[in-house]
């Protein structure tokens, strides 16, 4: 990058503002294709003892970084650093539930990317719904679908239980999510569950999107919400009643009021 030229990450970063989920989503896409300058608290780039800096904001951990050599100079950071592709650092941080904080030295404190959004960068921004998500018990009345799905699940031995949620992404179309709690995740079991869904989906009203979520995925926010708030509508041992209405939706860290932390 030539001196004075902005990276795609920096261009998108300037557009981010409270409530501008479209700009924030564009920033995630730029980060997925770009690179960041990670600030090392210990060690040198590539050394076994290299350790990223860390900061805490609203009780969540973030690794601080800057978005260019120019921002590195402006930050006054006097320890080592390493340049890392955005997709690589996302894959490295999210499994330990660490987010990434861009330019914490900047006026206003920079911008934080929560670990859930780093997971989306790793898994595919177009494959996973854009947060913050609003989740609730589905209000749409489709008893024929639930009954048929329950019958087909009963004949599919891999299925332990099924849950449901109504998911409203920050951007994109709301959809019905079916949580799959499986005894077995072998290829044969997964194929049997795919067939179960294919045999059931025909009675869903036209235009209603339906997606599935693995309840075993400890990082999926929809599965996390279902485990906490949704009783199964199909259970191999006993059929549960309707899940109680949740008291609150799944909470992302707020995307406003950016604040700097010490690192």
pLDDT in tens, 98-119: 999 999 999 989 999 999 999 9
Q: Is the pLDDT of residue 43 over 90?
A: no
Whole-prediction pTM: 0.81
229-248 tens-digit pLDDT: 999 999 987 654 333 333 33
Q: Which residues pair with 42 in a beta bridge?
A: 51
Cα 220 from Cα 228, distance rounded (Å): 13
Q: Is the pLDDT of residue 6 over 90?
A: no
Q: Is 147 exposed, middle or buried (0-12, 13-18, 19+ CB in 10 A)?
A: middle
128-177 tens-digit pLDDT: 999 899 999 999 999 999 999 999 999 999 999 999 999 999 999 999 99
* Buried-state track 240-249, b at ≥16 Cβ within 10 A, e below 16: eeebeeeeee
Contact assessment for residue 25 and residue 117, using Cβ atoms and an 8 Å cutoff: no
Q: Which residues pair with 166 in a beta bridge?
A: 136, 176
**Domains of the chain as residue ranges with CATH:** 8-123 (3.40.1350.90), 134-235 (3.30.70)
Q: Is the pLDDT of residue 23 over 80?
A: yes
Q: What is the pLDDT of residue 99?
A: 97
Q: Which two tokens stand for residue 21?
A: 């989920």
């Amino acid at each position: 990058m030539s001196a004075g030229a902005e990276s795609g990450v920096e261009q998108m970063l300037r557009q981010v503002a409270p409530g501008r989920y479209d700009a924030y989503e564009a920033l995630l896409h730029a980060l997925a294709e770009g690179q960041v300058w990670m600030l090392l608290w210990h060690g040198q780039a590539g050394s076994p003892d290299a350790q990223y800096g860390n900061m805490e904001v609203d009780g969540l951990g973030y690794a601080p970084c800057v978005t260019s050599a120019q921002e590195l100079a402006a930050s006054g950071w006097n320890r080592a650093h390493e340049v890392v592709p955005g997709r690589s650092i996302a894959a490295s941080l999210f499994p330990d539930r660490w987010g990434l904080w861009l330019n914490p030295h900047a006026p206003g404190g920079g911008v934080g990317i929560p670990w859930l959004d780093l997971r989306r960068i790793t898994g595919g921004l177009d494959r996973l719904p854009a947060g913050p998500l609003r989740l609730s018990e589905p209000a749409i009345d489709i008893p024929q679908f639930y009954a048929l799905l329950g019958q087909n699940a009963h004949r599919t031995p891999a299925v332990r239980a099924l849950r449901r949620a109504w998911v409203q992404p920050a951007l994109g179309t709301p959809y019905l999510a079916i949580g799959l709690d499986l005894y077995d995740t072998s290829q044969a079991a997964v194929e049997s569950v795919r067939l179960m869904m294919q045999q059931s989906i025909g009675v869903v009203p036209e235009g209603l999107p339906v997606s599935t979520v693995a309840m075993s995925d400890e990082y999926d926010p929809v599965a996390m919400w279902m485990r906490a708030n949704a009783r199964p509508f199909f259970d191999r041992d006993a059929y549960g009643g309707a899940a109680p209405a949740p008291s609150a939706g799944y909470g992302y860290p707020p995307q406003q009021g950016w604040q700097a932390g010490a690192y």
